Amino acid sequence: MIYIGIDCGTQSLKAMAWDQARGDAVSAGRSYDLIDGLPPGHKEQHPSVWITALNECLDELRAKGVDMAAVAGIGVSGQQHGLVALDSSHQPVRASKLWCDTSTEPQCRRIMEAAGGQPAYQAEIGNALPPGFTASKILWMKENEPETYRKVRYLLLPHDYLNLYLTGNLVAEPGDASGTGYFRVREREWSKAALSWIDPDRDLMECIPKMIASREPAGQLRGDLQRKWGMSGRVVVSSGGGDNMMGAIGSGNVKPGTVTVSLGTSGTLYSFSASPIIDAAGEIAAFCDSTGGWLPLVCTMNVTVATEMIRAGFLGTGLDEFNQAVEGVRPGADGLILVPYLEGERMPNVPNGTGVLLGLRPATATPGHLARAAMEGVTFGLFYGMERMQELGIVPSEIRLIGGGAKSRVWRQISADVFDRPVVCPENQEGPAFGAALQALWCASGQDAGTLIEQNLKLDDSTRQCPIAANRSVYKELYGLYKEFSRDLIGCGVFEKHRALIVK
């Protein structure tokens, strides 16, 4: 049997056809862009680009010789938090505001005020409310585009929208729903109270899709798509989930002790928990996973977006040359530190943040130093979250690295040294897409999720790297400076003053 995993990300959509019996996979991908010309902080994409990319990828899989008649299931992984607002005909009323959109920070404050403050909000939801979450995007549309808002009949997440396209059914599942800001993570149910804090004059519960369990199917593949793609028999579409939840499945992160770190456009760090872990400070997201457990999670907005800025904007080199430049500079970049809050940051919550360099002097003003400082700085940002997770009782024994950055040997070593843990990559590099395919197998077969993942997941031991004591010592000191510098910048309000200057 063949299972297809679809990963709808910010920059591209990937589809992977995984043959369970043979253990191999065929992949296809399509890139797309965000909408140009929007004001600072606004990040949007039209859902139609995802549908076009999905169709092109499935057509490509067929053209590459995949036996589409053997497909038994499809799973969808989607970028989290994006708002897909539909009218009564299931058509988007506007472009989707994405997870990286920080323009809704004022709406976050108003929702929090309506709730009676963060403690009351968190008591209901289990999470704080960063601008990236979906809730503030709804209020932003209500306040800024009232005519459009009146047309809204359904409120979905990106992966929910793709499931609707594939099955015709309006459903949601707990993992992805955890990042909306109106889902009760302890109880795994929508929050009527939180929706009323967004709009007290309208019953938004009528706009929210039906909640299904992660092991339940979203439905069966539509007949017209089945015929178009050359599939026969019953094709189950699993519940799917957010990219982090699918990345957890695809990296085998379904039991305590394993931590997954995704080095993608954004960075995420998460670990399985059998019970909810609620962070009173609101820094660690209390998410459900997509196997029936929970997934305490750290998210930083700037990872490969920062390294790519340095690579393309300053060095103008390919990836191999970029990695060589990093390797040519010793650990710590001779004291050059990048605080990589390029267009805001989510952890710590700095929506008006920018990138800041400390230690720039003639000796460090080289392409290699900038490249290494970028790679180290974004890894420090993730380690900030690791520290907080350890304070809450998460004990990591091994790091599973996924995402584009995990392909870099020097970045894997930096990660091992900064996190002070062995790191290793799954053999299948398409973490979220592979996780979606595994979830489709789980949904179609009804077998135990943990057993299926253990049987089918393989680690690539050639990528395994362990901490080097001398490097670890350098990073321990440098990280202390990074954290102090970052806190001082935030504490003195310099980012807000700078944003006001730019706006003028």
Active site residues: 243
SS3 294: strand
Identity at 201, one-letter amino acid code: D
Torsion of CA 297, 305, 10, 30, to 10 degrees: -130
| Nearest one of 177, 207, 163 to 289, comparing CA atoms | 177
Q: Are strands 217-220 and 44-45 parallel, antiparallel or unpaired?
A: unpaired
DSSP letter at 10?
A: S
Identity at 71, one-letter amino acid code: V
N- to C-terminal Cα separation, the chain: 60
| Nearest one of 439, 425, 441 to 78, comparing CA atoms | 439
Q: Which two tokens stand for residue 355?
A: 């990138």
Identity at 143, one-letter amino acid code: E
Rounded Cα–Cα distance for residues 86 and 121 (Å): 27
Are 18 and 3 contacting, i.e. CB atoms less than 8 angstroms apart? yes
Residue 19: how many CB atoms within 10 A of its CB?
16
Rounded Cα–Cα distance for residues 55 and 33 (Å): 17
- Rounded to 5 degrees, φ, ψ at 113 are -65, -40
- Rounded to 5 degrees, φ, ψ at 262 are -105, 120
Instruction: Please give the sequence-ordered ranges of beta strands (E in DSSP) within 88-167, or none if there are none.
Output: 96-97, 154-156
Q: Which two tokens stand for residue 16?
A: 């992977």
Q: 447-454: which pairs have CB atoms within 8 A and are 24 or more residues apart? A: 449/215, 449/249, 449/254, 449/291, 449/292, 450/254, 450/255, 450/291, 453/249, 453/252, 453/254, 454/252
Rounded Cα–Cα distance for residues 274 and 276 (Å): 7
Sign of the torsion angle spanned by Cα atoms 465, 480, 273, 345: negative
What is the b/e burial string over 114-140, where b = at least 16 CB atoms within 10 angstroms of the residue's CB?
A: bbeeeeebbebbbbbbbbbbbbbbbbb
Rounded Cα–Cα distance for residues 260 and 297 (Å): 10
SS3 29: strand
Are 348 and 384 contacting, i.e. CB atoms less than 8 angstroms apart? yes
- Rounded to 5 degrees, φ, ψ at 100 are -90, 5
